[in-house]
Structure 1
Amino acid sequence: MFDPVDVPFMGAKKEHELPDADVVIFGAPHGTPYRDIDNTPYAAAPDSLRAALAEDSQWLDHWDFDLDGPLLNDGPCRVADAGNLRTSFQDGAGNRSLIETATSEILKAGAVPVMIGGDDSTPIPFIKALEPLGPLTIIQIDAHIDWRDERRGEPLGFSSTMRRASEMDHVKQIVQVGIRGLGSARRTEVEIARDWGATIIPARELHRNDIETVMQHLTPASSCMITIDCDGLDSSIMPAVMAPTPGGLTYYQTVDLIAAVSRTCNLVAFDMIEFVPTRDSTGTSALTAARILANVIGCLARR
């Protein structure tokens, strides 16, 4: 199912070396393709983010000032990197099956799944596999709401992620953060999302009121997953996306929100998607995305 990696993320053990992990990271290079839209630019994202922190992985005992302590907090948290799923760029059904099966097996082993995509269709089977953890709140950081019923005849592509999630019985709340600019949504999709009960928090509102504008909608101790589309971040720090849009979340707004959710709720899963390595000419976008992932690991280690 997985192709192992030579350099696991941020000092994690390879999964066969740590079968009883608390957190399992894995890459999902491909999701459900659209006709005539190439989904291969995202495929190298998991390895790009691993490489971004390869040197830092030598210093896991050093103080991380984002986390106020070493990454794993000198605690018993065990982190494994399973490698990359053997997805194929044109095999949507096969890719969905791989993602759902892998996520389910991680949950059955008692670990928290952390997925690195892949395009924004990869969370659909990921969220589906979280059914045993429901009722579930989804916190989506994204420039776009992703409520299309179909696009180019495909109902499981990257413009339909939250629409499909809303149809899953275990998904009880969707909070969408950082929405802005122009996307695939039309008036109909916005109305459907609001009628379902999705909380849409535009980026402008987040900048005005900070992360409290999100936290006020969450129930303490509820099961939450966070999904981050990299275009949810401001294009000044994350240009390596297909649809860079000004006005997104800053680095510290993002990691502070992750930390607040982890403290207040039960963070049961995380994914990061839509990173495009070929658009990262300086490597700073990969470093930014990888540092956000490191913060997720650090927050899970502090639960």
Structure 2
Amino acid sequence: MEIGNMEFKIYINGGITMERVNMPITGICSFAKYPICENLENLDADIAVLGVPYDTGVGFLTGCRFGPRRIREVSTHYSRGDAGFYDPERDEVFLGAPVKIVDVGDADVVHGDIPKSFDAIEYAVSKIREKGAIPAIMGGDHSISIPIARGLKNEGKVTVIQLDAHLDWSDAPGGQTLGNGSPMRRMSEMDHIDEMVQIGLRGLGSSRKEDYDAAKAYNSQLISAKEAIRLGVEGVLDRIPVADKYYVTIDIDCFDISLATGTGSPSPGGFSYDFLNDILIGIAEKGNVICFDLVEVAPQYDPTGATTRVAAMTMLNFMGHILKKQEKNQ
């Protein structure tokens, strides 16, 4: 089954035809109303949007399993189809034809079954990459970045860029090695994961000193939110090593709490929308982004809906600049 924004004719009694407009409020809630691909074996796209409605890794405020569905719903407001998005500040059109973006639905997670869920996530990511598309993933809690990274094991060396209020380098709190506080440590143990850059760190008690020491021993580049703002966008980008391939993981709590209350661990002192997106634009222009995720959106904690809108627009903006870089390199 496929749906999209393109107009098509329908036939009513005696051959009368109408042009279907397909407004944002109508139809099925795929991400930004992009076509749906239900079988990854048939995938033919530049970017494949994948939902991961999983929050078994959360130790306190759950609910980000509902993130993908709500982000999809909100994103329909911004559907533009083949026309793409015109940016008047850059005088450029992003995500317009012939760009191909599809929504491949959700990874087949099973709540309470961590191994099965992680296998399903890893499979989906690896299959999307096998088909030559870039996975754009909506979480879900941050533990999903562990199987996402596993799904990139055939890519050779991959540099990871994390945008997050938290270090996520816990080892095994309470014996749990696969929680949402541990993805960066787990990735550091994978042979194909190369350098790491962690941007936006802040807040009392966000990690233990020994976790910071372990991250430094790995030689991860640690940039606090205050340092990032002091450095400015270009200064932050200068700290990111040149690499053949980047995997970018975005925790919604990298944004300031005023923009993103809908998450399990919101934190004041975070980034503005423009600052964070300028960093993402710089990353897209710097190198080859082969995968990204946006995690920890828990919509029930934000009755205004602002968090899901920030998430949807951040994804669309990043997707546009990733593909624009590819277009310019052709």
TM-score, normalization by structure 1 = 0.92
2:212 paired residue number: 190
Task: Please name the residue that 1:55 is paired with.
Answer: 77
Q: Distance in 2 between the 1:263 and 1:45 partners?
A: 28
Kept in 1, the 8 Å contact 2:82–2:98? The answer is no
The equivalent residue for 1:87 is: 109
Greater C-alpha Rg = 2
In the aligned structure 2, how far is the partner of 1:116 from the partner of 1:146? 18
| Moved >6 Å (runs of 4+) | none
Tell me the distance in 1 between the aligned counterparts of 2:242 and 2:310.
29
How far off is 1:296 after superposition? 1.6
* Alpha-carbon shift at residue 219 of structure 1 (Å): 3.5
Residue equivalent to 1:13:
35
- Shift of the 75–58 alpha-carbon distance from structure 1 to 2, 3 Å rule, reads closer
In the alignment, which of 158, 163, 168 is matched to residue 146 of structure 1?
Answer: 168
Q: Which amino acid aligns with 2:177?
A: P
Structure 1 CA distance, aligned partners of 2:50 and 2:90?
23
Structure 2: give runs of 5+ residues left out of the alignment: 1-26
In the TM superposition, what whole-angstrom CA distance separates every residue of 1:95-119 from its partner, at most 9, and x where no partner exists?
1000000001001101101110100
Tell which deviates more after alignment, 204-213 or 110-119.
Answer: 204-213
- Distance between the aligned counterparts of 1:215 and 1:134, measured in 2? 23
Q: Which has the higher contact order (CA 8 A, sep 6+)?
A: 1
Question: Residues 1-303 of structure 1 correspond to what in structure 2 (within 5 A)?
Answer: 6-16=28-38, 19-33=43-57, 37=59, 40-58=62-80, 61=83, 62-65=85-88, 68-72=91-95, 74-220=96-242, 222-302=244-324, 303=326
8 Å contact from structure 2 (residues 62, 298) kept in 1: no
Residues 1:109 and 1:59: Cα distance change in structure 2 (over 3 Å) = closer
Deviations 1:123-163 (A, max 9, x none): 00001111222311111010110111111211111111100
Q: 1:39 to 1:110 in 2, by over 3 A?
A: farther
Residue 213 of structure 1 deviates from its aligned partner by 2.9
> How many angstroms apart in 2 are the aligned matches of 1:150 and 1:212?
36
Deviates more, 1:185-194 or 1:51-60: 51-60
Matched residue count: 296
**TM-score after normalising by structure 2:** 0.84
Amino acid aligned to 2:57: P
Residue 71 of structure 1 aligns with an amino acid whose one-letter code is F
When residues 287 and 60 of structure 1 are mapped into structure 2, their CA distance, relative to the original with a 3 A threshold, is farther
Secondary structure of the equivalent of 1:93?
helix
5+ residue gaps, structure 1:
none
Does structure 2 retain, via aligned residues, the 8 Å contact 1:60–1:70?
no
- Which stretch shifts more, 182-191 or 37-46? 37-46
Cα RMSD (Å) of the superposition?
2.0
